[in-house]
Amino acid sequence: MIALKGAAAAAKIKEEIDKKREAFGEAVPVLAIVRVGEKPDDLSYERGALKRMEKLGLEARSFVFPEDISHQDFENAFREINENPEIDGILLLRPLPKQLNERRITEIIDPEKDLDGISPANMARVFAGEEKGVAPCTAEAVIEILKAYDIPITGKRAVIVGRSMVVGKPLAMLLLKENATVTVCHTKTRNLPEVCRQGEILVAAAGRAKMVDGSFAGQDAIVIDVGINVDEEGNLCGDADYSSLEGIASMATPVPGGVGAVTTSVLAKHLVLAAERRRK
């Protein structure tokens, strides 16, 4: 089984970003990372994003707010970031604490600065298949990995396990745009392993550690694991049981080192595109 490592896709995205960066001259695109509280997942993603931006010669600024901030105080602060002419793109780390109206914030964010496809405008653009639509970074990272390894998508049967607005649903739209035939499943799908075995491309995005094992994969399937979990021994693992896919799947993304390694590169790509559009 061939390991589809994210480094290959990240390198291709870097080449694309480097070419576009030349047109900016001395100007540097600026990313605002907005975080509320100190959740380990948010901190990990923030560190990865900051590191990636630095490597690519882009600027990132962190805006951190206390876990118990009131909605009105947060909305006022977010509006200032949103309207700051120095900021080219915004990454809002979610989910937000319960006292904050997350939907309200996603309605406020400038669609041209929205780098993770959370605004209603960008959601609509992605579902309409428009080029201008900004998809969630994780969903787009799946497409980037397939393309980095020259894996044909047109005409392929793709099965996605997971129906979230972060991965499952937008990824279905991206795969349809690439002319795949797409089935979206979830934990309540009848005969789930049988349905999954029909997929030539199988995406595990259910949010359950090692749920997708060898019984879910058809012979020679390509398995893309979007999950990030911690197993009983405290080790990072995905939604797919990687070892059980050996001898069945032809290719699979590892965790860590797979899709997660590409997500921050897609974020950087979205930042550069947003900055390019604003300067035009």
> For residue 112, what are the contacts with CB-CB under 8 A and spacing of at least 6?
274, 277, 278
Tell whether the model's pLDDT for residue 75 goes beyond 80: yes
Q: What percent of the chain has pLDDT over 90?
A: 88
Percent of the chain with pLDDT over 70: 100
Question: In the predicted model, what is the mean pLDDT of residues 82-96?
Answer: 97
pLDDT tens digit string along 211-262? 999 999 999 999 999 998 877 787 889 999 999 999 999 999 999 999 999 9
Q: Is the pLDDT of residue 24 over 90?
A: no
Domain ranges of the chain: 25-116, 137-260
In this predicted model, what pLDDT tens digit does every residue of 47-67 receive, in sequence order? 999 999 999 999 999 999 999
Q: What is the pLDDT of residue 41?
A: 85
Q: Is the pLDDT of residue 91 over 90?
A: yes
pLDDT on residue 21: 84
Q: Report pLDDT for 176.
A: 97
Say whether domain 137-260 belongs to CATH 3.30.70.3450.
no
Give the model's pLDDT for residue 236.
85
Overall fold of domain 25-116: Rossmann fold (3.40.50)
Summarised one tens digit per residue, pLDDT across range 105-132 is 999 999 999 999 999 999 999 999 998 8
The reply to whether 137-260 shares the fold of 25-116 is: yes
Q: Output the average pLDDT for the chain.
A: 95
Residue 40, pLDDT score: 86
Please give the pLDDT value at position 229.
86
